[in-house]
Structure 1
């Protein structure tokens, strides 16, 4: 309908992440039903008709927030050429934002020391089962890097480089924050001699040794049950959730992804500079997602999150 060559459609579709496609499919089901009821061509609707749809979603579900409405708007803009530049739609969304402003997900966050104390209580790596070692490894990496669990699920063996100082891990796959010309994240995992029980580098080294005979794929994390397939992001999320729950974190309030909130907040309070936190956790140079909530003078200590996070247990 837009006059595009048929062989370009797949390329254009690849611009959307799998999660985005899933979100948009929800919008399109609602939009198709709305258009059918109101006898509207879903591909040639006017901005005022799109606003009617968005307002209807707002009225039918009063708890709908700005983020959900903006997701609907983005999905419609993909199929309606005149929506993106519509001034009245922008005005409508500004009104939604004022009615339902974005808020932080958590009013408070758990202390990483709680989880580190639990991990330390597990004992030496040599005494752990593969299940325990797997969960310890992924949780420590989440804590000392501050990265999303999606990033950890994309660690490839070929991108893990060991040195006397620790490990450097390159992430080459596309992640949520990947942009044209942007930097891909690099995870720094230094050895922590002060407390071997909490050393992520040592634990990673032991995990690699324990899983080497079981590997059939190129990714770091594998399931601890046969046939030991590559672990998905959802599996990694469940493992971290189990560790947090065992450590006493209220999982009715917090999600596994809260490791990112907890460690960056703790590092900031320890005096780590915003620039180091930003680079370590994968935020862009101009990102205000973290900085606007912790905008205080800082003092630089080291070059990664790991020492600041693990030191909270000493």
Structure 2
């Protein structure tokens, strides 16, 4: 039963259950008892002492449902209280705007460097922008699961990701050769990276990405996030406003603006065909850097 929860879910629930334990200790309440008034009092106390939004309280409710063996989401009083939280502190998307991937691609569109640091950062950035996948998924790539062909490279991801479930397919990344612009070809960059890291790769490490420094162990998701952030910053993206995960927003939103069908975006990014996640949280307009006059002048100068 513990295996039904991911490590991230357990970590998230631990915060909620710690607060609940402290609440019960102060009031001499048995923490595993299904008692709706106490649960509502607990949620009200958290609301009075924090600025958490609705999604945080939803996590608290789910954590308490786990240890009380009762689905609090179906209780009439809890549902009414949660609706009140929703109206008082509605969930808000992290971003109302997103950045233009063209800025990063222009920065990367140059003759490839040979050093490990440059090739690593370039490959990670190209992978997240070309596929729309999470950095977590990219960090799970194992080089034995990479298959090259005359048309490009295919990568299977057998490890569990955030969207893994009994009725969902595991991610498969298809990277065709981009002959029109070799400097931005993800498959070619991937091949270059494998050749560069071949003599450095430890015998017991099958993860694709390695750290820069000896003994060149597997790079974690946090390490890849730093690489993406550094690339974004060098390309002129405001990393104080946009975090590395925003690359998923930027990539998928750009694909829709370019006319890619919504079903293709969902397949590439790992959403189900009836998912509304992209529409609700990821499809964002570009952040406006220039005013109307500057845009018109740039347009006129490019025509002349």
TM-score normalised according to structure 2 size: 0.89
For the 8 Å contact 1:264–1:277, the answer to whether it is kept is: yes
Which of 106, 121, 128 pairs up with 2:114?
Answer: 128
Matched residue SS, 1:27: helix
> Which residue number corresponds to residue 258 of structure 1?
246
Provide the rounded CA distance (Å) in 2 between the counterparts of 1:89 and 1:245: 45
> Offset of 1:93 from its aligned partner?
1.1
> Which residue number corresponds to residue 287 of structure 2?
none
Q: Is 2:252 the partner of 1:233?
A: no
Q: How does 1:165-244 map to 2 (within 5 A)?
A: 165-216=151-202, 217-244=205-232
Provide the rounded CA distance (Å) in 1 between the counterparts of 2:183 and 2:120: 14
Aligned length: 280
> Which residue number corresponds to residue 4 of structure 2?
15
> Offset of 1:124 from its aligned partner?
2.1
Provide the rounded CA distance (Å) in 1 between the counterparts of 2:153 and 2:2: 36
> Which residue number corresponds to residue 155 of structure 1?
141
Q: Over aligned residue pairs, what C-alpha RMSD do you find?
A: 1.4
For the 8 Å contact 1:147–1:260, the answer to whether it is kept is: yes
TM-score normalised according to structure 1 size: 0.86
Q: How does 1:1-314 map to 2 (within 5 A)?
A: 12-61=1-50, 63-84=51-72, 85-120=74-109, 123-125=110-112, 127-216=113-202, 217-292=205-280
For the 8 Å contact 1:47–1:82, the answer to whether it is kept is: no
> Offset of 1:47 from its aligned partner?
1.4
1:236-263 deviation digits (Å, cap 9, x = unpaired) = 1111111111111111111101010001
The runs of 5 or more residues in structure 2 that have no matched partner are 285-304
> Offset of 1:45 from its aligned partner?
4.2
